[in-house]
Amino acid sequence: MGEIISIIVATRDNPETLDHCLRALARQRESNFEIVVADDGSGINTARVILDWQPRLAVPLKHAWHEDRGPRAGEIKNRAVRIAGGGYCLFLDGDCLVLPDFAATLRQQMAPGEFVVGPRLALSRQLSEQIMIDEADLADRARRRRFTARWRGDVAPARHPTGSFGCWRRDLDDIDGFECGIGDAAASDADAMRRLRQLGLRRTGAGFTMTAFELWHPLRDASASATLPDSRSALASAANVRAAHGLSEIVREVEQSWRITAATGATGAAAR
């Protein structure tokens, strides 16, 4: 069956779109994958969505979370990678839907020395509401309409053209994952991909079946006028392949926490 794929879904206080993202992943024809939700400080409603889906999915669903201290996309994706079990990692935003052949197509694209980038298209408010309220079938619309005339206004180019990107875990380790200091999700992806290219990997574009369809929601409108942070900030110098503050920093933090917990437990037991 090949390597397990870890599909890492980044979300921040948007439980409704996450629910539909997980629903689309539940319909995949490929089954040798796991889902890890990279939860950037969301509240209880997001946790409830994940708990609701865990017994219903045919694949494992894990939850990486940290407290809300403002957007920390790079850091939470590192926390998700740390608990991921797959040899290949695919990163997707939690406000996006994918078609049933998404994971199967990704498996065909997983070549050594490359990382894969999938396209992104934005769904209109009307079509998004049909999907989220009436559970309209996006895959069926894709089969019937073939994007003729951009689905008559239902589909348009997204603000950020990258819908997903995937790479081997060993390559991610070589660049030390994402830069923790970058808060914006699109900027953290762009920075990681830049460093993968510096590592010598080739970027490979994916076709229609790997499109991420971005649902309309109020947060999307709010972000449309925002300025994208510079992914080549001082936090991740263009001269460096490895993140200044990356995955290894998260691993050390967790290991230190375990040691403190173990020592505290041992001391408490001795005292009793």
Domain residue spans of the chain: 5-245
**pLDDT digits 0-9 by tens, 215-260:** 998 776 555 444 444 444 434 455 799 999 999 999 999 888 877 7
Residue 159 has pLDDT above 90, yes or no: no
The residue written with tokens 């408010």 in the block is: 125
Read out DSSP for 146-206? TTTHHHHHTEEEEEEEEEEEEEEHHHHHHTTSS-TT---HHHHHHHHHHHHHHTTPEEEE-
From the list 159, 161, 165, the residue with the least C-alpha distance to 178 is: 165
What is the residue-averaged pLDDT of the chain?
87
pTM given for the model: 0.88
Distance in angstroms (rounded) separating the CA atoms of residues 71 and 270: 41
Phi, psi torsion values for 231, nearest 5 degrees: -75, -10
Write the DSSP assignment of 192-213 as a string of letters. HHHHHHHTTPEEEE--GGG-EE
Q: What angle do CA 194, 83, 72 make, to 5 degrees?
A: 50
Its CATH architecture, for the domain 5-245, is Alpha-Beta Complex (3.90)
| Average pLDDT for 19-41 | 96
* 150 contacts 203 by C-beta, under 8 angstroms: no
Compute the average pLDDT of residues 253-269: 73
3-class secondary-structure state, position 237:
coil
pLDDT score at 150: 53
pLDDT surpassing 70 at residue 198: yes
